[in-house]
């Protein structure tokens, strides 16, 4: 999960332009030992290639692949600009998150950020709060976390090991702010409780930060439910696990079905606004996956067409999301070799799928 403190968060900042905003977060990254001084030039160069505006008033400037060797320690520097910064193309950034990441760690950071920043209310509060503790709580995902979400559900995992499934759940709960490292260590040494055929549950007494439920299911059907239990309000959710129909859904239902057991939500189709359409699946060839730049190229390609287009990452079993949203595309956490399924409707549906396929085949400009 994002490591945030007073050292790497600055509220109520003000600058004249985008370049100065980037220089400010770059300075913070340098002072905190995340990067060498030359990384700033890479951040400014990166911005000339493709805008790092993510959406919802958030920008995520970062270096180029050529400046990755200048990263000393993965981390972020966050500046809040209540008056906003013109980020070009009519976009105003109120929160600027400078990212420094080694290797493919940037994909994990981006997934964490987009899971939080997709919440309109959260981003609105980030833009205006003057309480640094509240700001950190929101951005680190520790405030008003849902009891579960699609990002906590892992289906069709290629393993026969219950320990591997437990570790996957623990990793997701930790990344998203539900638990601390102490929880992970204790959990992996604990004994699983069998609830039903192919269904197991575990938890830990230490390191619980928020109420949460993570579910990991193997391709053969073995399912592990991991509970983060921060307070007694979790009891009602735990009682559901004794219900036979709930148990059956956990071992055989879809991601949406599992989430719906614990959280009221719209269906993926209803939320996205598209019921059915033409489909195509493409394998991502980019060596470093879909980080911000190739994601932006993909979104720009999608926006060319008179069509409604959804996309999902089949390898992560994500829900369908709107392919014209950079934040949604980045949240898919796409790595090299992952397969993306596109669903398109509208006047140029087939043309869009053809164009998207060619763009992905050409490695989205990389």
- What are the catalytic residues? 62, 291
Burial 221-237 (b: 16+ CB within 10 A, else e): ebbbbbbbbeeeebeeb
Q: Residue 290, SS3?
A: coil
Exposed e or buried b per residue across 343-360, where buried means at least 16 C-beta atoms within 10 angstroms of its C-beta = bbbbebbeebbeebeebb
CA 250/CA 7 separation, integer angstroms: 42
Residue 214 token pair:
């993570």
Give CA–CA dist 319/321, Å, rounded: 6
Strand partners for 199: 196, 223
Residue 5's Cβ-count burial label (10 Å; 0-12, 13-18, 19+) is: exposed
- Give the ranges where 241-290 is alpha helix by DSSP (H): 244-252, 255-262, 268-272
Q: What own/partner pairs with CB < 8 Å and gap ≥ 24 does 130-133 have? A: 130/11, 130/12, 132/6, 132/9, 132/11
């Amino acid at each position: 999960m994002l490591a945030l403190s007073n050292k790497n968060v600055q509220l109520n900042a003000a600058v004249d332009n985008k370049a100065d905003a980037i220089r400010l977060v770059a300075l913070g990254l340098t002072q905190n030992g995340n990067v060498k001084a030359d990384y700033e030039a890479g951040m400014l160069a990166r911005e000339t290639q493709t805008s790092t505006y993510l959406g919802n008033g958030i920008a995520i400037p970062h270096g180029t692949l050529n400046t990755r060797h200048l990263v000393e320690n993965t981390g972020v520097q966050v500046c809040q600009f209540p008056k906003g910064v013109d980020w070009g193309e009519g976009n105003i950034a109120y929160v600027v998150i400078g990212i420094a990441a080694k290797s493919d760690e940037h994909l994990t950071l981006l997934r964490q950020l987009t899971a939080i920043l997709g919440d309109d209310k959260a981003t609105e509060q980030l833009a205006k709060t003057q309480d640094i503790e509240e700001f950190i709580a929101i951005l680190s995902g520790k405030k008003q976390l849902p009891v579960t979400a699609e990002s906590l559900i892992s289906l069709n995992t290629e393993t026969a090991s219950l320990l591997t499934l437990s570790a996957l759940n623990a990793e997701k709960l930790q990344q998203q702010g539900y638990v601390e490292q102490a929880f992970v260590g204790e959990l992996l040494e604990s004994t699983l409780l069998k609830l039903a055929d192919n269904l197991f549950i575990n938890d830990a007494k230490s390191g619980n930060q928020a109420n949460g439920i993570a579910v990991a299911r193997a391709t053969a059907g073995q399912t592990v439910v991991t509970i983060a239990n921060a307070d007694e309000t979790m009891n009602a959710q735990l009682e559901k696990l004794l219900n036979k129909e709930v148990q059956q859904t956990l071992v055989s239902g879809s991601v949406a079905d599992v989430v719906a057991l614990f959280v009221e939500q719209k269906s993926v189709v209803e939320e996205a606004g598209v019921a059915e359409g033409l489909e195509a699946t493409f394998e991502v060839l980019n060596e470093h996956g879909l980080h911000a730049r190739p994601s932006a190229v993909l979104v720009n390609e999608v926006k060319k067409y008179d069509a409604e287009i959804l996309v999902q990452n089949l390898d992560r079993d994500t829900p369908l999301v709107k392919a014209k949203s950079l934040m949604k595309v980045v949240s898919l956490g796409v790595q090299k070799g992952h397969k993306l399924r596109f669903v398109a409707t509208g006047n140029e549906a087939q043309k869009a799928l053809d164009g998207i396929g060619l763009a992905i085949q050409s490695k989205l400009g990389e």
